[in-house]
A = this chain, B = another copy of it.
Amino acid sequence: MARKASLSGFSELLPEERVVENHVLDVLRRTFELHGFSSIETRSVETVDQLLQKGEIDKEVYAVSRLQEDPGTSSGEKLALHFDLTVPFARYVVENAGYLNFPFMRYQIQKSWRGERPQEGRAREFTQADIDVVGEETLPFRYDVELALIVVEALSQLPIPYFKLRLNNRKLSEGFYRGIGLSDTAGVLRAIDKLEKIGPEAVATILREEVGATDRQAQAALELASVKSESMDFVDKVRAFGVEDELLEQGLRELSEVMAEASKRAPGTVIVDLSIARGLDYYTGTVYETFLVGHEKLGSICSGGRYESLASSGKKTYPGVGLSIGVTRLVARMLSQNLASVTRKVPSAVLIALTNDEAWSQAQDVADQLRRRGVSCEVSASAAKFGKQIKYADRRGIPFVWFLSTDEAGDLVHEVKDIRSGEQVPADPTSWMPPEEDLSPRVLAREDAN
């Protein structure tokens, strides 16, 4: 990642870096599928009208048009690249509702594009891994619990530093604000969302000047936001404010349910943090954010929440709960800070050496036999001295070189050399296997990364 992208914001990985990214994607996919989530992809483009519906700042959107577009194209037909996977997914659900089984559990791993100013953690082209459950009209609350557990399970398998999944519930916050007499709950949330950036003083000013809070109300809202807990004691802390409100109670109940199960199954990973507001308006209950410990300034690597109406068509609404993992943000950090290393950069475990050009077809026979057992290998394209072929393997990190020769009786003799130890032994192409740890490139966490 020391290399500079030839187009700012559109970085490209080297093969060894891509091994890291593929590992992350494979772990996510496997985890999501083990939990019963189906894969879908949506098209990369939406109509501009569809994308701007939710009030997204339009300069961040990349418009797409044929170089020689018909000048008469109306704005409803104008296309743009999607900037997230939620808007396209909502459209997909409505369009295909008749073909889907609800609750519909899907994951979606795709690129998105935003024309923002590039910086670390913010690329113009980036991969997101989204996981959502969507119901028709209703969706059991249990999915709010399960989704937290799934992302913790997925992230725990990655070679990354410790992370904390921060939890809150919009109903709790909004009920609290209402209970202390602040009716512009959305305004309070927006102010609280800025807490980490601008500090409590500035937030109090906004609350007083823009939301019409008294000193005491502003103080109470800030005190609620300061509640953080890795155990269930947040319930007592909230109760101690003595605020009574039905929505607050419901939020408290929901947050307790997520926290109770999460702290049991993933102790030390999940934290209640009542300052978590999430900028987006569509969340209506549980909200999640995830930070790498020691890398908080990178921003959240996995965020989401519950939305009572992901989409609606005619009379039907589709509530959902989901999270989005910022794969590019995460992988860029893993690479720039050397949080992980790869055991080799190519898939090949074995190079079949060629001692004379005529042996190529025989070498391919050996390769076929190895591949049938899942051993990745390549055959030298032309004959060369042993030393040169070993050097070729060494440069790529291929651990084994296979040699073919003919003995006095005219029979083929097979030997395999571990070029790291120099040990060379006879080998049978119909049964030889490399040690498990050499079968495929592995991605390892740097030991001192935590």
Contact = CB atoms under 8 A, between A and B. Distances in A.
- Chain A: interface secondary structure? mixed
Contacts of A162: none
Contacts of A143: 381
A335 to B, nearest CB: 13
Contacts of A356: none
A292 interface: no
Interface residues of A, number: 81
A413 B119 CA distance: 55
Interface stretch (A33-41, A182-190, A214-222): A33-41
A92 B12 contact: yes
A142 B36 contact: no
Interface stretch (A270-278, A294-302, A341-349, A404-412): A341-349
A421 interface: no
Identical chains bound together, number: 2
A339 to B, nearest CB: 20
Contacts of A360: 142
Contacts of A60: 66
Contact of A61 (B66, B80, B106, B377): B66
Interface in A248-267: 261, 264-265
Interface stretch (A97-105, A164-172, A231-239, A310-318): A97-105
Most B C-beta atoms less than 10 A away, residue of A34, A37, A382: A34
Given A62-B65, A64-B62, A12 B43 contact: yes
A376 B41 contact: no
Interface stretch (A14-22, A193-201, A203-211, A279-287): A14-22
A190 B44 CA distance: 35
Interface in A36-54: 36-45, 47-48
Contacts of A91: 6
Contacts of A44: 44, 111, 113, 125
A432 to B, nearest CB: 15
A378 interface: yes
A12 B41 contact: yes
A111 B42 CA distance: 12
Contact of A96 (B3, B115, B378): B3
A293 interface: no
A449 interface: no
Nearest to A370: B34
B68 A59 contact: yes
Contacts of A337: none
A347 to B, nearest CB: 4
Given A12-B42, A13-B41, A100-B15, A64 B67 contact: no
A374 interface: yes
A265 B361 CA distance: 10
Contact of A378 (B36, B81, B261, B377): B36
Given A34-B374, A36-B348, 6 more contacts: A15-B39, A15-B100, A64-B64, A103-B381, A140-B382, A146-B381
Interface of A: 3, 6-7, 10-15, 18-19, 22, 33-45, 47-48, 58-68, 79-81, 91-92, 95-96, 99-101, 103, 105-106, 111, 113, 115, 125, 140, 142-143, 146, 149, 261, 264-265, 345-348, 360-361, 364, 371, 374-379, 381-382, 395-396
22 contacts: A3-B96, A3-B99, A7-B47, A12-B92, A15-B106, A18-B38, A18-B40, A18-B41, A33-B376, A34-B375, A36-B348, A37-B347, A59-B66, A61-B67, A62-B64, A64-B64, A65-B65, A67-B80, A105-B378, A142-B381, A146-B381, A149-B364
